[in-house]
Amino acid sequence: MSDVSQSPLLRNFVDGRFVSGEREFDDVNPADGTVIARVTEAGAQLVNDAVIAARKAVLGEWGRSGVRQRAALLYKIAEGIEARFDEFVRAESDDTGKPRALASRLDVPRAAANFRAFADLIKTAPLEAFDTETPDGKLALNYAVRKPVGVVAIITPWNLPLLLLTWKLAPALACGNAIVVKPSEETPASATLLAEVMRDAGVPNGVFNLVHGFGEGSTGEYLVSHPDINAVTFTGESRTGSAIMKACAPGLKSVSFELGGKNPAIVFADCDRDETIAQLGDGIFLNTGQVCLCAERVYVERPILEWFVSAMKRKAESLKIGWPAENDTQLGPLISTPHREKVLSYFRMARELGATIVTGGGVPEFGDARDHGAYVQPTILTGLPESSCCVTDEIFGPVCHVAPFDAEEQAVAMANDTKYGLAASIWTNDVKRAHRVARQMNVGITWVNCWFLRDLRTPFGGVGLSGIGREGGMHSLNFYSELNNICIKISG
Ligand code: NAD
Ligand code: 6OH
């Protein structure tokens, strides 16, 4: 056990200063259960201070700042993240247990890329304009100008903490808003480091505020129900999205929700076999399966079912589960032991329902401090009915259920038979079929022969329980700004 009194204290950042909150809670490393930091929780008063500081910033110089000034600031923040790259990697990996190699390849570079992408975009974002013929035969010009929404609340989850926070923060800043962020209570470290980067980059006081704490009955709820918040952007569980929507209803705050998924992959017999196993293997197990886009339902054309199951089993068993800091580690722990308990409860239910556990299904044993961590084995299930909870619920672990199909229409129907609708992937070399099937997917994102291949200009979001709205590129700019249409009569 670590000496908690020696742990660093992660504080809130309000109006340009680091401040303590009311109570403290532990920040735990899920690789071995040690307390790595203490975190000070923002109560209702501090949340209110943060919203007041943000409002002051919007009403002040920042609210009148120009696009070039804001874009320059965003580039500076990107550079600030890169200058402290290793600290971010360590913070992200220690909080989540994800391999440092993964944080170095994905989370931290994407954080910097998010700022650059929206700095580029805001500089070139077009305005809409129309010449309008008037009833008296004259002409009017209609054009829309972009204004900040005001004070934006950002609430983020623990799986890709910095990536998802900056994905929302960068366009919100680009559009001239002031922001109050609440990261997940499980992963407070990278957001705290980001507050230092923001301060050092010269972000004006009150423009970026960070409050730490929990959701219901705590910081998150105080924030989303605060009457002076204009918009709430949230990534997390569908259930939480519904609670947040309720809190936003009285003030009619606008919302953008990126929520859970139970994503299908459809593997046709003509797929490129090695590529499919390599890339869909990531699509099932990356980040220990804790990516909202991961495939938890895999439908395989019957003639290659046996091959697929044994090849994916080999892939799962080849993944090196280890200490996050070791270079060759491919799989870290889950986020926490309570989350592992949830994942293991699905493994137990699968067994009770008569599933075949092709591989995994349990907890690895290390004989060292990792046995106090939240590790779980990568797991493949077969033989469950489509109606079973293991096939309908988002498990959010390194696990998938594999089922056969005989006809394309059957695969499409099974893939779409869900309340979620975030991402689908299709694996085939038949280009006509790829287009045909992709268009039938009832999701926000369809990948063909790839997975999690991102272009930050594209629409990103889900249907059904997977979300409300789209972010990415112009979709983000449209959420984080208000358009004021100006109609000016030109002649007469
Ligand atoms: P979560 O919903 O439990 O928590 C997310 C955030 O919401 C945390 O900061 C939490 O403190 C806060 N929160 C909880 N209750 C709240 C309330 N009543 N009011 C205000 N804030 C509240 O999600 P999680 O467990 O941290 O993350 C995992 C989930 O996120 C999975 O369902 C996953 O699919 C989803 N996710 C979706 C996307 C996407 O883009 N669609 C991306 C990443 C994660
Ligand atoms: C979910 O866990 C991953 C979300 C990814 C993004 O929001 C993104 O922009 O790539």
Per-residue pLDDT tens digits for 223-274 = 999 999 999 999 999 999 999 999 999 999 999 999 999 999 999 999 999 9
pLDDT value at 59 more than 60? yes
Q: How many residues does the chain have?
A: 492
Residue with CA nearest ligand 1 atom 10: 215
Beta bridge partners of 485: 144
409 is catalytic: no
Per-residue pLDDT tens digits for 310-350 = 999 999 999 999 999 999 999 999 999 999 999 999 999 99
Torsion angle, alpha carbons of 140, 484, 462, 277, to 10: 80
Tell me which residue has tokens 């983020």.
156
175 is catalytic: no
Tokens (6 digits) for 342:
């949830």
Ligand sitting nearest the alpha carbon of 237: 1
Tell me which residue has tokens 């004989």.
367
Q: Ligand 1 in contact with 374 (CB < 6 A)?
A: no
β-strands 481-489, 254-258: how paired? unpaired
Residue with CA nearest ligand 2 atom 1: 292
Q: What DSSP character marks residue 178?
A: E
**Would you tell me the crossing angle of helices 67-83 and 189-201 to the nearest 10 degrees?**
130
Tell me the pLDDT band of 22, cut-offs 50, 70 and 90: confident
Average pLDDT score, the chain: 97
For 264, the enclosing helix (H) or strand (E) is strand 263-267
CA distances in angstroms from 9 to 14, 243, 337, listed in the order given:
16, 30, 23
Q: Helix, strand, or coil here: 288?
A: helix
What is the percentage of the chain residues whose pLDDT exceeds 90?
98
Q: What is the pLDDT of residue 492?
A: 64
Tell me which residue has tokens 């609430």.
155
Q: Ligand 1 in contact with 165 (CB < 6 A)?
A: no
The answer to whether 185 and 37 are in contact (CB under 8 A) is no
Amino acid identity for residue 235 in this structure = T
Q: Which of 372, 385, 456, 439 is nearest to 414 (CA)?
A: 385
β-strands 399-405, 379-382: how paired? parallel
Determine the atom of ligand 1 nearest the C-alpha atom of 160: 43
**Alpha-carbon torsion 156, 160, 166, 168, what sign?**
negative
What's the whole-model pTM score?
0.97
**Ligand 1 centre distance from Cα of residue 159 (Å):** 9
The answer to whether 312 and 281 are in contact (CB under 8 A) is yes
Strands, E assignment, 89-207: 129-133, 139-148, 151-155, 178-182
**Alpha-carbon torsion 21, 26, 30, 35, what sign?**
positive
| Mutate which of 39, 41, 106, 155 for ligand 1 pocket (most atoms within 8 A of beta carbon) | 155
Q: Which of 344, 286, 340, 277 is nearest to 313 (CA)?
A: 277
Ligand sitting nearest the alpha carbon of 464: 1
Q: What is the pLDDT of residue 491?
A: 78
Q: What is the pLDDT of residue 7?
A: 83
pLDDT value at 1 more than 90? no
Q: Ligand 1 in contact with 397 (CB < 6 A)?
A: no
Q: What DSSP character marks residue 475?
A: H
Residue with CA nearest ligand 2 atom 6: 164
Strands, E assignment, 313-422: 356-359, 379-382, 399-405
* Residue range 64-83: mean pLDDT, rounded: 97
Compute the distance between CA of residue 281 and CA of residue 378 in angstroms, rounded to an integer: 10
pLDDT value at 4 more than 60? no
**Alpha-carbon torsion 27, 364, 331, 170, what sign?**
negative
Q: Ligand 1 in contact with 462 (CB < 6 A)?
A: yes
Q: Which of 23, 7, 409 is nearest to 219 (CA)?
A: 23
The answer to whether 26 and 38 are in contact (CB under 8 A) is yes
Residue 372 CB contacts under 8 Å (≥ 6 apart), including other chains? 32, 33, 34
pLDDT value at 167 more than 80? yes
Please report how many Cα atoms fall inside a 13 Å half-sphere around the Cα of residue 168, on the Cβ side: 31
Residue from 185, 258, 394, 471 carrying the catalytic annotation: 258
Beta bridge partners of 17: 14
Compute the distance between CA of residue 188 and CA of residue 86 in angstroms, rounded to an integer: 17
Q: Helix, strand, or coil here: 477?
A: helix
Per-residue pLDDT tens digits for 115-151 = 999 999 999 999 999 999 999 999 999 999 999 999 9
* Residue range 453-472: mean pLDDT, rounded: 98
Q: Ligand 2 in contact with 203 (CB < 6 A)?
A: no
Per-residue pLDDT tens digits for 283-307 = 999 999 999 999 999 999 999 999 9
